[in-house]
Structure 1
Amino acid sequence: MAFNDRVFGVLLIVLAVVYGWSATQFPEPFGGAEAVGPETFPLLLAAVLALSSLYLILRPDPDDPWPWSRTGLELIIAVVVLVLYALLLQPLGFIISTALAVGTLCWRMGATPIKAYVTGAIAGVVVFVLFNFALDLSLPLGLLDFLEVD
């Protein structure tokens, strides 16, 4: 049903806006404005999500009914997890919020809770290290602010 795709597209646009807005709340890196800052990658993701959502709204699949079964519930859970991730990114920091989001999504896809959250923690640390040290882009530490090296 085309209506279901359009509703989901609108919800994903809201998610893209919230995620993009939260990315603009990152603190400016020391040394002034840079062309590529910590908000660049999240803003690109928000733009891709918004464009994909527009496609769902403008060109919905007429044959797909909304999955009100377990699949529909899992989709709603995934959207809630991603919205919470965007909202908690600044206060909790990148590593903790990424570990929680990736862990929860892995768990919902069938991994055992321990394996899911270990995967989330590894993903959070690896991406944080990659961005902070390889790309020289600072991500928020949040609760782990005591780890910041001057």
Structure 2
Amino acid sequence: MTFNDRIFGVLLIVLAVAYGWGATQFPEPFGGAEGVGPETFPYLLAVVLGVASLYLIVRPDPDNAWPWSRTGIEMVIAVLVLIVYTALLQPLGFILSTLLAVGTLCWRMGATPIRAYVTGGIAGVVVFVIFNYALHLALPLGLLSFLEVN
């Protein structure tokens, strides 16, 4: 059913527009510097998502059907995990909320709980270090704010 891909494509375009609009809400960098700023990556993601969405609308898969079986349930769980992740990002901080989100998603995909949450913890720490120290883009520490180096 090509109709399913088209519905999904329209929903993803709405998400891309909302994501791009959200990027415009970032405050201006100090000194009005132009170039790469905190909004650059979200703009890039919004454009890629928009193009991919248009592709789904223009060239849908003719044999596509909604996954109402276990796969559909897992997709709903993944979306709920990501919604909870965004809600916990500020209070728990990036590292802990990423540990929980990535760990839960890995576990749902078949990893043992220990391996899943170790993977989530490693992912949280590695991405935090890359963003904070290599890219100089601050991510929230939340409950781990005692680790902050001034």
TM superposition score category, shorter chain reference? 0.7 to 0.9
Asked if 1:110 corresponds to 2:95, the answer is no
Distance (whole Å) between structure 1 residues aligned to residue 91 and residue 44 of structure 2: 22
| Residue matched to 2:136 | 136
1:1-150 equivalences under 5 Å are 1-16=1-16, 31-32=30-31, 34=33, 35-150=35-150
Structure 1 residues 27 and 125: alpha-carbon distance in aligned structure 2, compared to 1, 3 A threshold: farther
CA contact 1:22–1:86 (8 Å) conserved in 2 = no
What stretches of structure 1 of length at least 5 have no aligned partner?
Answer: none
Query: Could you report, residue by residue, the CA deviation over 1:65-89 in whole angstroms, capped at 9, with x for unpaired residues?
Result: 1111111111222222233333433
Identity across aligned pairs (percent)? 77
Q: TM-score, length-normalised on structure 1?
A: 0.77
What stretches of structure 2 of length at least 5 have no aligned partner?
Answer: none
Deviation at residue 128 of structure 1 after TM alignment: 0.5
Structure 1 residues 78 and 142: alpha-carbon distance in aligned structure 2, compared to 1, 3 A threshold: same
For 1:85, the aligned partner's letter is Y
Q: Which has the larger radius of gyration?
A: 2
Q: 3-state DSSP class of the match of 2:64?
A: coil
RMSD of the alignment, in Å? 2.8
Q: TM-score, length-normalised on structure 2?
A: 0.77
CA contact 1:17–1:46 (8 Å) conserved in 2 = yes
Structure 1 residues 33 and 131: alpha-carbon distance in aligned structure 2, compared to 1, 3 A threshold: farther
Flag the structure with more relative contact order, 1 or 2, with Cα contacts below 8 A and sequence separation at least 6.
1
Report which stretch shifted further, 39-48 or 110-119.
39-48
